[in-house]
Amino acid sequence: MAYVCEVCGKGPRAGSRVIRHGLEKRKGGIGLHTTAVTKRRFLPNLQKLRVREGGTVRSRRVCTACIKAGKVLKA
């Protein structure tokens, strides 16, 4: 099962983890330098929720943005 919201389709996004070393200029150094960039994933905040759909109750994985926006009706 994919890690996506079953209402809006929000899923994992790709990004970077940036590591910087060195002393900042304002602290007397020569500035921060990027020493490593690695890939990372930003995951959506999914919750397992019992949702009322067409008179029946089903369990769905829904992101918190959809819950707050009222796009689903809790059972």
pLDDT value of residue 33: 95
Task: Check: pTM over 0.85? Answer yes or no.
Answer: no
Q: Is residue 2 part of a domain?
A: no
Q: Is residue 18 part of a domain?
A: yes
Q: Is residue 58 part of a domain?
A: yes
Give the torsion through C-alpha atoms of 59, 67, 61, 54, to 10 deg.
40
The residue-averaged pLDDT of 44-57 equals 95
Number of domains in the chain: 1
pLDDT value of residue 4: 97
Which residues share a beta bridge with 19?
Answer: 36
Tens digit of pLDDT for each residue in 1-48?
699 999 999 999 999 999 999 999 999 999 999 999 999 999 999 999
Q: Is residue 4 part of a domain?
A: no
pLDDT value of residue 23: 95
Domain region containing 22: 13-69
The residue-averaged pLDDT of 37-66 equals 96
